[in-house]
Amino acid sequence: MLLLWTIMKCSKIIEELKKQWPENFALSWDNVGLLLGREEKEVEKVFLCLDVTEETLDQALEWGADMMISHHPMIFSAVKKITDQDFLGRKILRMASEDISYYAMHTNFDVLGMASLNEESLGLKNSQVLETTYEEDGRVEGIGRLGELSRPMTVKELACLIKERLCLPDVKVYGDLNRMVFKAAVSGGSGKSMIKPALDLGAEVLITGDIDYHGGIDAMACGLCLIDAGHYGTEYIFISYMEEKIHELFPGLKVKGAKIQFPFQTV
């Protein structure tokens, strides 16, 4: 059911988000849901971001946001003190003083959203879940996807295709650029833990982010090429996708996404 109020309670927005991306699909170590603020807060403006940084918080406050929704949780572990002496405390204090309600949807979205978005960006065919995290009554969900590329191509061709599809300035490649590949795995975000599932399922190449030196050379030794498109590069699609979905679910609400800005530069 579409919710048509121009101003609505935060709890009503969360109720619909939970229907679309249930919190029980999040992994056990994660921290999702309403992490700060009031459920009964009246919301007119929703601001979307990948991470709540001081920069994205500035953008939200300047716009007059009532609610922020991020992919990565701002709060992961227990907070023993909240002061203006550290960056997390400053953000919490600012959000609380401005009466912003803050909701995070992380691995529940990875399972029920990001995996499909990454799959679509590569145009994979005959795909399957890369690592199963949920299985019930024939339904299988999980992190990442494994499938066939539209045609066999070299690792270099695939790397260039990823740069184009994800609008990236560069990617990092582990493996022979001239090797022909057809069976590919993809997992947005930090995907070192997806190397073993990709190998187990016969992938020839894994597209992900945050690959470290030893992970890269070990994967090559096992016959798996890696294309590191970056944590931000493989997940910032969350912002535009959720902007479209919020408009669809709550037509009367004002929605704005954070500026797309890579957190580092290569010089």
- Contacts of residue 95, defined as CB under 8 A and 6 or more positions apart, other chains included, come to 36, 37, 52, 57, 68, 102
- In whole angstroms, what is the distance from residue 30 CA to residue 52 CA? 16
The pair of structure tokens assigned to 72 is 């990565």
- In whole angstroms, what is the distance from residue 134 CA to residue 264 CA? 34
Dihedral, CA of residue 221, residue 222, residue 223 and residue 228, to nearest 10: -80
Q: Distances from the Cα of 226 to the Cαs of 175, 229, 267, in angstroms?
A: 7, 9, 22
**pTM of the entire predicted model:** 0.95
Do 256 and 47 meet the contact criterion of CB atoms below 8 Å apart? yes
- In whole angstroms, what is the distance from residue 61 CA to residue 179 CA? 49
Q: Which amino acid is at 137?
A: D
pLDDT of residue 2: 47
| φ, ψ at 243 (rounded to 5°) | -60, -45
Structural domain spans, the chain: 8-105+236-257, 109-228
pLDDT of residue 5: 57
CATH number of 109-228: 3.40.1390.30
- Per-residue model confidence as pLDDT tens for the chain (267 residues): 444 558 999 999 999 999 999 999 999 999 999 999 999 999 999 999 999 999 999 999 999 999 999 999 999 999 999 999 999 999 999 999 999 999 999 999 999 999 999 999 999 999 999 999 999 999 999 999 999 999 999 999 999 999 999 999 999 999 999 999 999 999 999 999 999 999 999 999 999 999 999 999 999 999 999 999 999 999 999 999 999 999 999 999 999 999 999 998 888
Give CA angle at 40 (38, 42), nearest 5°: 100
3-class secondary-structure state, position 2:
coil
Q: Single out the residue of 1, 64, 73, 82 nearest to residue 30, CA to CA.
A: 73
| φ, ψ at 71 (rounded to 5°) | -80, -60
Identical fold between 8-105+236-257 and 109-228? yes
Domain 8-105+236-257, CATH class in plain words: alpha beta
Give 99: exposed, middle or buried? Use CB within 10 Å, 0-12, 13-18, 19+: exposed
Instruction: Say how many C-beta atoms besides its own lie within 10 A of residue 212's C-beta.
Output: 11
3-class secondary-structure state, position 232:
helix
| φ, ψ at 96 (rounded to 5°) | -65, -40
| φ, ψ at 221 (rounded to 5°) | -65, -25
